[in-house]
């Protein structure tokens, strides 16, 4: 079955460490997205990519970095510069044609202590 795989489901890190969240899709979608979900704040866009080797900052990109070297992969690195990294992170993809609906992964819950 086609879909989006985020791993791991739960991730724990010490403050000051960088951590990379994985997102892989086999839907052959051009566009991929990273959102952060916090209680009462909905989903906030971190980064998005419309095509391989290209990506744009979302509304809360500070302290995060991404790469898009392959169409199917869009890893997110949470750096030590991110002041409040503990959150639920969601990856999504879309065909990008017109404005197609997003397909979401199951998310990664990151806890930094």
Partner 1 sequence: AQSVSQHNHHVILSEAASLELGCNYSYGGTVNLFWYVQYPGQHLQLLLKYFSGDPLVKGIKGFEAEFIKSKFSFNLRKPSVQWSDTAEYFCAVNENLGSYKLIFGSGTRLLVRP
- For binding to partner 1 (CB under 8 A), which residues are involved? 31, 33, 35, 40-45, 48, 50, 56, 58-59, 90, 92, 94, 96, 98-99, 101-102, 104-107
CB of 68 to partner 1, least distance (A): 13
Helices within the chain (DSSP H only):
none
When the beta carbons of 20 and 56 are compared against partner 1, the nearer one is: 56
3-state helix, strand, coil split of the chain in percent (to 5) is 0, 55, 45
Q: Which helix (H) or strand (E) holds 21?
A: strand 19-25
Handedness of CA 109, 4, 103, 51 (dihedral sign): positive
- For partner 1, the closer of residues 11 and 45 by Cβ is 45
Min dist. Cβ of residue 53 to partner 1 (A): 15
Q: How far is the CB of 91 from partner 1 (least distance, A)?
A: 10
* Upper half-sphere CA count for residue 56 (Cβ side, 13 Å): 8
Which residue, 82 or 93, has its beta carbon nearer to partner 1? 93
């Amino acid at each position: 079955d086609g879909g989006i795989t985020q791993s791991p489901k739960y991730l724990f890190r010490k403050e000051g460490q960088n951590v990379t969240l994985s997102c892989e899709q086999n839907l052959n979608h051009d566009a991929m997205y990273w959102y952060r979900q916090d209680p009462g704040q909905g989903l906030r866009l971190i980064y998005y990519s419309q095509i391989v080797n290209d990506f744009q900052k979302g509304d809360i990109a500070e302290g995060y970095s991404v790469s898009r070297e392959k169409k199917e992969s869009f890893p997110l690195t949470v750096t030590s510069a991110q002041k409040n990294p503990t959150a639920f992170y969601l990856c999504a993809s879309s065909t990008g044609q017109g404005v197609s609906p997003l397909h979401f992964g199951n998310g990664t819950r990151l806890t930094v202590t």
